[in-house]
Amino acid sequence: MTATEWLPFTVCAAALIGLGLYGLVTQPLLLRRVIAFNVIGSGIFLLFGALSGSESAGTDSVPQAMIITGIVVALSATALALALVVAHAREGGRDP
């Protein structure tokens, strides 16, 4: 890939990470924080895909394997977070 090809991905990924971090810090609502976490995660995975294509000539399969693993991990984290949010709401806890 040439720079013109991977640069947009990188910029896009950086924007996602930045947006997500901003949301995580500023949003008080739990559900929104969980979403912000997922936005950051997407940005990182995008960055991973973009950067791994930049250096080597051929397609590197290792990052793809890692991205898939990472998505699975992020998914389970999201699931746990949502379960906790639901339990929290059931116990009558309100968002801070």
CA–CA separation, 47 and 20 (whole Å): 14
Residue 4 sits in the site that holds another protein (CB under 8 A): no
Range 64-83, binding another protein (CB under 8 A):
66, 69-70, 73, 76-77, 80-81
Residue 55 sits in the site that holds another protein (CB under 8 A): yes
- Calculate the CA dihedral of residues 7, 9, 15, 16 and round it to 10 degrees: -160
Q: Tokens 């910029």 sit at which residue?
A: 11
Residue 57 sits in the site that holds another protein (CB under 8 A): no
Residue 88 sits in the site that holds another protein (CB under 8 A): yes
Q: Which of 24, 31, 32, 35 binds another protein (CB under 8 A)?
A: 24
Residue 16 sits in the site that holds another protein (CB under 8 A): no
CA–CA separation, 29 and 85 (whole Å): 10
Q: Which of 2, 4, 56, 57 binds another protein (CB under 8 A)?
A: 56
Any residues with CB less than 8 A from the CB of 63 and at least 6 apart, and which? 48, 49, 52
